[in-house]
Structure 1
């Protein structure tokens, strides 16, 4: 079992309503443990058939951490809300499934976190709503670095969850830090509209959605697309759409999308600044896309 911890801010964030089976005892008694068991860990037991850690609410994960609730579950493992007896604070603890490839990935993630603590640069490669924590403040905190890579490492050709994937990845042009900036742009639109910006599972449809929202893909990027992506274009210059659509439903899904500026028009006093910020974050060309520092210094964040 590999355990990773991410602090939850002291003012506890609002969570989904808990079901009866998912609730630990409330009140001060939930945070106290009888003296004779306070420093004991739970008895050793087998994981379930999928490799997930088996636990009971109210027991000790370790002598330091008391399990209060299950916060979530994903491919790599689950996250438990615990009480930290040393800091007297609530924490979220990620417990990775006892499967070799996930344990290896967890060790890489631990290494990434240690390097981030030293302020070293890396690319997340999987920025999305589910891997972000939205506390009561306006900050967005990344809480999952399982797909992170350093710039000097070999990069696999495809990264990022589909809905948040940058165009340079789909076109096979390689990727680096700007792909995370694109993902942040997708997240901001999703926070404004309540829906994922590009709801698709197919490359051609994804590119068609991008063109519907952002305009035509730059020709110089099309010309450099790898062989696997050449099939998405006619004579190397125009997207093969709607001719190449797999279904009428796919065509309708693209048509229902609006221009980016219209998607955020309901944001009253700052809609023009927000639209300008999003256009910078969602620039097709990664070389012209806003950097993280440029985005943070955008007038939109000074307008409040």
Structure 2
């Protein structure tokens, strides 16, 4: 009976013009919003979002735009016209009470005109005590740590829409967290950039790159991560992506660095080269290809001879924060150390071929389980290259930048030198040649080694391209 009375009252409220009320007194009770029962009897209005986005509607439902960098948009279907009854406990917290109260005093319009609390999913969302407690704690806590990272805990909110579930990773750029999207009603990954000017500017370049990728490949046939939307939250650029599995490196690590099966490597290689070829066609160079930047779509697996074997080898290429258009400024040092091409170390200029060198290093790592050139110093890195691939040709070392000339004398690598440690000498001495790392004991290994030998060529001009690599006989087996 009480429920029926509440329903009748709510219906009348929506049908007749409201009399002036004391919003603060009416909406709050003992400092907390009262529970409200809401009737779903009309299509969902456009979801609330911040100043970084704007919304419009179409025949397919509301559309969210991210106009700062292009025309990407997502369509959301209108809600069902059937009647449902919701309480605040089902919706969870939205904005801090003070923020809601400020908006109420300012506008004093109909209930549906309330800020995010009223517009999300087209319902009036009431708060329960625990929700307000979380929002209050989050609102009064310091936003950033000393390094400019946004301080986040499970159950915190990135705007009223995204509820933080858990931390997925942290890097120089910022953090990645798993969130629940209360509009799409699904989970997603959000990259939260540090509130430092240089990282904010870099993130805007990444958004420009991601927007270009999505516009040119809306069906994602080229296996690059797609940006769903972005927003600015407390001076942090936040980029929203689909939630994927762990990285190839993390899977390798969890599998005790056991090599992947040859057929898996073949599929990884084809997808990765497809992504790189697509980037290069767009005049883009990724510059930071490594196993950590290759995510599995699904990490489900089964055990086979005490080893984890993936059930699905589909991947996505991620992290375009260092991606560079060919016509843009080229930084002197790019790529993570282990996957860095010789032309970068020598400072002789880099372009598309540096990505191919990185792919070659990645594929060998998937084959052996260990990084091909596991070092942190330039001279030792070059020495490992020579131990594995043979002497660096004079026409490659001669154009080296002034700072790299010290590594050579008469076009011969000066290793070891007076500063070389005994551990370094022993480490380089243990380096195997490419022929020993990839033994030609199967037809697939023969073709795989041939492909790698064409990728790991010192002279960038003679290195195979991504399109040429895709036509290699390794992929016909």
Report the TM-score range of the alignment, normalised by the length of the smaller protein.
0.7 to 0.9
Q: State the Cα deviation string for residues 20-63 of structure 1 (Å, max 9, x = none).
A: xxxxxxxxxxxx97236366595545122222112221343234
Note the 1:206-221 alignment, pairs <5 A.
Answer: 206-221=381-396
Q: For residues 226 and 59 of structure 1, do their structure 2 counterparts lie closer, same or farther at Cα, with a shift above 3 Å needed?
A: closer
- Return closer, same or farther for 1:278/1:88 CA change in 2, 3 Å cut-off: farther
In 2, distance between residues paired with 1:33 and 1:111?
39
116-125 vs 221-230, which deviates more?
116-125
CA, structure 1 residues 252+277, in 2 after alignment: closer, same or farther (shift >3 Å)? Answer: same
Does 1:176 pair with 2:351? Answer: yes
For the residue of structure 1 that corresponds to 2:284, the secondary structure is coil
Counterpart residue number, 2:193 = 96
TM-score, normalising length: structure 1: 0.81
What secondary structure is seen at the aligned counterpart in 2 of 1:270? helix
Cα deviation, 1:200-243, whole Å, max 9, x if unaligned, reads: 111111111001111111221122222222211121x2111234
User: Does 1:283 pair with 2:457?
Assistant: yes
Q: Match for residue 11 of structure 1?
A: none
Quote the Cα distance in structure 2 between the aligned partners of 1:143 and 1:33: 36
Aligned pair 1:299/2:355, yes or no? no
1:49 corresponds to: 146
- Residue aligned with 1:231, SS: helix
The alpha-carbon deviation at position 116 of structure 1 amounts to 2.4
Tell me what 2:423 maps to.
249
Q: Per the alignment, do residues 73 and 279 of structure 1 end up closer, same or farther by CA in structure 2, a change over 3 Å counting?
A: same
| Structure 1 residues 162 and 279: CA distance shift in structure 2, 3 A | same
Indicate the residue corresponding to 2:446 in structure 1. 272
**Match runs of 1:71-220 below 5 Å:** 71-119=168-216, 120-136=282-298, 137-220=312-395
Quote how far apart the aligned CAs of 1:187 are.
Answer: 1.2
**Higher Cα Rg: structure 1 or 2?**
2
CA change 1:78–1:288 in 2 (3 A) is same
Q: Secondary structure at the match of 1:172?
A: coil
Q: Which of the pair has the greater relative contact order for Cα pairs under 8 Å at 6+ separation?
A: 1
RMSD value over aligned CA atoms? 2.7
Name which of 90, 96, 106 aligns with 1:34. Answer: 90
Secondary structure of the corresponding residue to residue 196 of structure 1: coil
Q: Provide the C-alpha distance between the structure 2 equivalents of 1:280 and 1:138, rounded to a whole number of angstroms.
A: 24
Distance 2:190 2:342 in 1: 34
Aligned residue for 1:66, secondary structure, equals strand
Per-residue CA deviation, residues 100-142 of structure 1 (Å, 9 max, x unaligned), is 2111111111112122234432111111222221334434422
| Bigger helix share | 2
Deviates more, 1:102-111 or 1:113-122: 113-122
In the alignment, what sits opposite 1:25?
A: none
Aligned length: 274
